[in-house]
Amino acid sequence: MPIIEFTAPPLPHYIISGLSHAEIGGKHPSRQNIGAFDLLVVVQGCLFLRESGHDYEIKEGHALILRPDSQHYAYAGCLEETTHYWLHFQILGDWRVIDEESYYHSQWKSVSEDRPRHLSLPPFSTTSYNVALPQFTKLAQPLKMGEIINELTQMNQNIHLASVRLKQQALFQEVIVLLSSSLGTSGPSSQTVCAERAASYLREHYRDGFSAKQLGESINFHPVYIARCMQKVYGCSPSVYLINLRIEQSKILLLQTDLPVERIAEEVGFNHAAYFTSCFTKIEGLSPRKYRQRFAWDKE
């Protein structure tokens, strides 16, 4: 399977992203030499694409990177309703496409032969390094990938703010890390499966009251094990993940509706508006009302 390898710095640069839905028989657009990489992440259904003589069936939980210098087209229509994230990015430095055998051989060679070169580097020097991305892969953490791309897409509405553009580029590097970590994996670990199931449940029931016991019963894992897995995969406990999720949902309502803060708190699962304001301020650095004033000034 082809591997896209690039030299960093510079790091890949995020351009734009979105979510697309295709009915039965629908096809991904045919393009050639578009000048940017196009990452496709399927969350439901399957896309059928051909590029450079390779046929790809991009099923749920899989990702494909379409190259900027090639032609790609759909060799078949969707057999079921299909939803996928798409993300355009650019690599401004050197990059190449190699096969897996050549990549792993070069990795072994660099370890066995090139190690002494680093001994003669001057202090505080900047050295380049190679990053490898699987062109087609089953993602180790598909839900987390979808969450990041969704957040990147939501940030586009405030792209006129330099601080948002900077945060967007920093967040996009997590996409690169997730893609790179999927290289050579045989599938998600049991801990990742547990964490993703818990996250899926919380995303579906974020408006409801939280109970570690109920979460465990719903996804058939012990609450202590769930907490351990989510800490490893997402860096936080289920309760903290839920609060952050509720805050993200509240930000959408603050920007897209005129609902009062107290009502928004209820809509996203907080029983008390004061606690919602406290959590929001701690995470975002400003209150819900000030957040609305800063980013939704044109509604007034």
pLDDT tens track for 136-180:
999 989 999 999 999 999 998 888 888 889 999 999 999 999 999
Q: What's the Rg (C-alpha) of the chain?
A: 22
Of 1 and 39, which is predicted with more confidence? 39
Distance (Å, rounded) from C-alpha 46 to C-alpha 141? 18
The CATH architecture one would assign to domain 2-138 is: Sandwich (2.60)
Sign of the CA dihedral with 30 first, then 151, 271, and 256 last: negative
Locus of tokens 């062109």: 135
Tens digit of each residue's pLDDT (9 = 90 or more) over 63-91:
999 999 999 999 999 999 999 999 999 99
The number of beta carbons lying within 10 Å of the beta carbon of residue 133 is: 24
Burial 9-22 (b: 16+ CB within 10 A, else e): eebbebeebeeeeb
The number of beta carbons lying within 10 Å of the beta carbon of residue 233 is: 23
| Choice among 10-19, 40-49, 99-108, 125-134 with the minimum mean pLDDT | 99-108
| Residue 230 pLDDT greater than 80, yes or no | yes
pLDDT confidence band for 52 (50 / 70 / 90): confident
Asked if CATH classification 1.10.3720.10 holds for the domain at 189-299, the reply, yes or no, is no
Could you tell me what percent of the chain has a pLDDT over 90?
68
Sign of the CA dihedral with 213 first, then 215, 221, and 222 last: negative
Write out the two tokens for 296.
């939704």
Sign of the CA dihedral with 226 first, then 231, 232, and 233 last: positive
- Average pLDDT score, the chain: 87
Paired with 137 in beta bridges are 63
Average pLDDT score over residue span 56-66? 96
Q: Which sequence spans correspond to the domains of the chain?
A: 2-138, 189-299
- pTM for the model stands at 0.62
pLDDT value at position 108? Answer: 40
Tens digit of each residue's pLDDT (9 = 90 or more) over 252-288:
899 889 999 999 999 999 999 999 999 999 999 999 9
DSSP 136-196: EEE-SSHHHHHHHHHHHHHHGGGTTSHHHHHHHHHHHHHHHHHHHHTTT--S--HHHHHHH
Distance (Å, rounded) from C-alpha 256 to C-alpha 104? 48
Residues 146 and 62 sit within 8 Å (Cβ to Cβ):
no
Residues 36 and 58 sit within 8 Å (Cβ to Cβ):
no
CA 95 to chain centre: 22
Of 264 and 232, which is predicted with more confidence? 264
